[in-house]
Structure 1
Amino acid sequence: MKQQEFFSSRWALIIASIGIAVGTGNIWRFSRIVAQNGGGSFLIPWVIFLLIWSVPLLIAEFAIGKSARMGPVGAIAKTAGRKFGWMGAYIVFVSAAIMFYYSVVTGWCIRYFFSAASGNLFSTSEHLAYWNEFTSGYQPLLFHIAAMVLVALVVYRGITKGVEKVTRFLVPSLLFILLLLFIRAVTLPDAFEGIKYFFTPDLNVILDYKVWLNALTQNAWDTGAGWGLILTYAIYMKKSEDISLNAALIGFGNNTISILAGITIFSTVFALSSVDAMQQVSQSGPANTGLTFIYLPLLFSKISESNLVNTIFASLFFLALFFAAFTSLISMV
């Protein structure tokens, strides 16, 4: 049976694939991992693993998907032999398991965007209590359902009318919002201290094997390499497209956005934190949620003396977080 649908252009495929790679891990997890692993010291192995781990895996996924024109199970079975089809099934299982969690996080992002936009987020200074109240009720379930319904509608419309059309809007919008937040963050007083920490390596820390392990883990998490998602999108790429170039553009595009988000968060935290900035980035609250949903709302309330300005920037941040989560979730469904 002849395949009927393809991405309309290389850039449509790349934008959609960057949508896979750029998720909440680039914005909330990346900054926390950098803070826990020596700032600039972490960036060195992180870039190395991009080159020797993530990009090669992306190339492999593109090659297998483009050649087999099947999902992970069928593609692995066709490429490596039927007895290895279980490997594709395992990839699908892992990605589905991540999707169950990721869809919940997407719902959180929707909820906090509306809270920020309405000004309700700044109605209290007790953001830990605000978070606990939200997560202990029924609202997470409702917003989770909302996220899944939205994603289902996109996937139902297919590649060109659904996935491509939505990612063409959301991914550039995400980048534009991050640039706005970046400009505001780096112009805050003492923002340079955060930037300096972010890029200054400590040679003693680089020798710690845990830093390298965390750098590998972060690469695997934030590029989506090896999840079977790129393989699935590759089914719909045209035969004439350059696999290696696509993989390189996606990998470096993803890491560039991570750096942009990292500078934004470190600048904001160092500029506005009244306590130990590193403690807040690396340990605030329950892991990733502490920084994103508990501590950053407090910082956004201090960006300026204007409540309207603070509301706008907080809304933009959570809107960007939602866009990042949603474009990744589309590929998992």
Structure 2
Amino acid sequence: MAQRETWATRTGFILAAVGSAVGLGNIWRFPFITADGGGAAFLVVYLLFVAFIGFPAILVEFVVGRRTERNPVGALLELGGNAWKYVGGVFIVTGFVILSYYSVVAGWFIRYFFEGFRGSYADRLATHGGEAGAMFGEVSTGMDAFVLHTVFMAVTIGVVALGIRRGIEVATKAMVPAIVVLLAGLAVWAFTLSGSGAGYEYYLSPDFSTITSNWTNLLPAAAGQAFFTLSLGMGVMITYASYLGEDRNLTKDAATIIGFDTGIAFLTGLVVFPIFFAAGITDPGEGGPGAIFVSMTQAFADLSGGRLLGLLFFGTVAIAALSSAISLLEVVTAYVIDEKGVERWKAALGMGGVIYLLGIPVTYDLIFLDLLDLFADGILLVFGALVLMLLVGWVAPQFAVEELSKGIGDLGSLGQAWIWAVRVPIIAVLAVSLYLGIVDYVDFLTGPFSEWVSANL
């Protein structure tokens, strides 16, 4: 087997991991999930999940990846034995499923970006009867969605085919700083808008009664979003950590990545919700996955300077989407390289091609996006993370503490505290979240999806 690639610099690894985390999960998914969960009430639960579940969990993925220097399948095979490789396979499947529809959504942002060049967003809406929903309906499905899905996957495959240093590291070093700068500028502009105060109140002033009365919905949504946005349960952090040296302080790297990711998610809310309320959009959660397209387009049509700001916003998200897509394709590509001995460019092209095909139905009808997203986010992500926590917490805890101490020194009681956090509260929360996620998915299958099948087949 050829010598495995490594990161050229610590900055390259950090930005690649941050780039994976800050993509559509933060800028597309976070606003509508937050709105659906009641605004600030969801934000509180989400931040608690990131701090007390996300941080210990990302350390688990880091130690597994660096210890084995393998992809998720090979890593779990090495640590747990033959039966555990099938759990590693769950991570590969998760990456497949998420990237298949993620690419389609990324294509929507590219389309909206180019719509801004064709005229103001008010003019673009006028061609659809002034209805932002009608415009989204045209953009989200059909030939244009198919073509942009094709283009986006082609670019993603090209970057991954170039390798860790020449492809992923170079691309993310350029993209991640651009995302931060653009979002910060948009947040400053949003602060100046008349009427934005209501957006800040919605986003930053939690009604704790909402949390207690709606915890069965908030818990799985917050767990899924925390893992989605941190790229946990997908095998990304296992794979990226497999290219690390033993001298790296994993806790420092984890804190840096989570800090950047959470900061960008929070910053996105400071952009989106003030703009919504300034434009008179007081129900930003209406519309699900299409909410941000409908609401933001309407806002950019109504606000002064909306065309320029729309270009900046949709362009920023398109860049962020690419940084995340690269990481997802790298997981499945690394699997083929490590376990099958296939050359990188062939692995990237082959696996990317299959993922591309899986995403095509989403360009036909959005019911397939819900079908894939609810399955990946509510079940696959949480299940993979849960079983990985069981492996590290109960089957092979000693190796984990030993690996974490490299680059840090003697952890003392902190090492055992981390293991017990993995063993009990994290596993318990993930188990409950998985149960609730399964219930939600069954409700979707027997409700909206069943109705769609009856109406279309």
Cα distance, 1:136 vs structure 2: 4.2
Amino acid at match of 1:108: W
Cα distance, 1:34 vs structure 2: 2.1
Cα distance in 2 between the residues matched to 1:238 and 1:110: 37
The one-character-per-residue Cα deviations of 1:37-57 (angstroms, maximum 9, x if unpaired) are 232222222121112221122
CA contact (8 A) 1:205 1:211 kept: no
> 1:323 is matched with which residue?
319
Structure 1, gaps ≥5 residues long:
none
> 1:101 is matched with which residue?
101
> 1:56 is matched with which residue?
56
Residue range with higher mean Cα deviation, 193-202 or 162-171: 193-202
**Is the counterpart of residue 246 in structure 1 residue 246 in structure 2?**
no
Cα distance, 1:264 vs structure 2: 0.9
**Is the counterpart of residue 278 in structure 1 residue 282 in structure 2?**
yes
Amino acid at match of 1:10: R
CA contact (8 A) 2:22 2:320 kept: yes
Structure having the higher Rg: 2
% identical equivalent positions: 31
The one-character-per-residue Cα deviations of 1:160-210 (angstroms, maximum 9, x if unpaired) are 110000000111111111011111101101212211221112121121323
CA contact (8 A) 2:120 2:307 kept: no
CA contact (8 A) 1:35 1:278 kept: no
> 2:144 is matched with which residue?
139
Amino acid at match of 2:139: F
CA contact (8 A) 2:159 2:168 kept: yes
CA contact (8 A) 1:54 1:219 kept: yes
CA contact (8 A) 1:112 1:121 kept: no
**Alpha carbons of structure 1 residues 310 and 120: separation in structure 2 relative to 1, 3 Å:** closer
CA contact (8 A) 1:25 1:222 kept: yes
Q: Matches of residues 42-121 of structure 1 in structure 2 within 5 Å?
A: 42-119=42-119, 121=121
Cα distance, 1:16 vs structure 2: 0.5
> Tell me, what secondary structure is at the counterpart of 2:285?
helix
TM-score (norm: length of structure 2): 0.68
Cα distance in 2 between the residues matched to 1:186 and 1:120: 22
CA contact (8 A) 2:121 2:306 kept: no
Amino acid at match of 2:89: A
Residue range with higher mean Cα deviation, 258-267 or 241-250: 241-250
> Tell me, what secondary structure is at the counterpart of 1:219?
helix
The count of aligned residue pairs is 322
**Alpha carbons of structure 1 residues 4 and 221: separation in structure 2 relative to 1, 3 Å:** closer
> 2:189 is matched with which residue?
184
The one-character-per-residue Cα deviations of 1:205-224 (angstroms, maximum 9, x if unpaired) are 12132323322222122111
Cα distance in 2 between the residues matched to 1:259 and 1:45: 13
> 1:156 is matched with which residue?
161
Cα distance in 2 between the residues matched to 1:236 and 1:162: 14
CA contact (8 A) 2:276 2:295 kept: no
> 2:244 is matched with which residue?
237
> 2:371 is matched with which residue?
none
> 1:9 is matched with which residue?
9
CA contact (8 A) 1:182 1:264 kept: yes
Amino acid at match of 2:181: F
Amino acid at match of 1:110: I
Amino acid at match of 2:282: M
> Tell me, what secondary structure is at the counterpart of 1:238?
coil
Cα distance in 2 between the residues matched to 1:247 and 1:303: 39
CA contact (8 A) 2:234 2:328 kept: no
Specify which structure has the bigger relative contact order, considering alpha-carbon pairs within 8 angstroms and separated by 6 or more residues. 1
> 1:294 is matched with which residue?
294
Structure 2, gaps ≥5 residues long:
330-457
> Tell me, what secondary structure is at the counterpart of 1:278?
coil
> 2:221 is matched with which residue?
214
> 1:225 is matched with which residue?
232
Amino acid at match of 1:318: F
CA RMSD of aligned residues (A): 1.6
Q: Which runs of 4+ in 1 moved over 3 A?
A: 1-4
Cα distance, 1:84 vs structure 2: 0.8
Cα distance in 2 between the residues matched to 1:243 and 1:52: 17
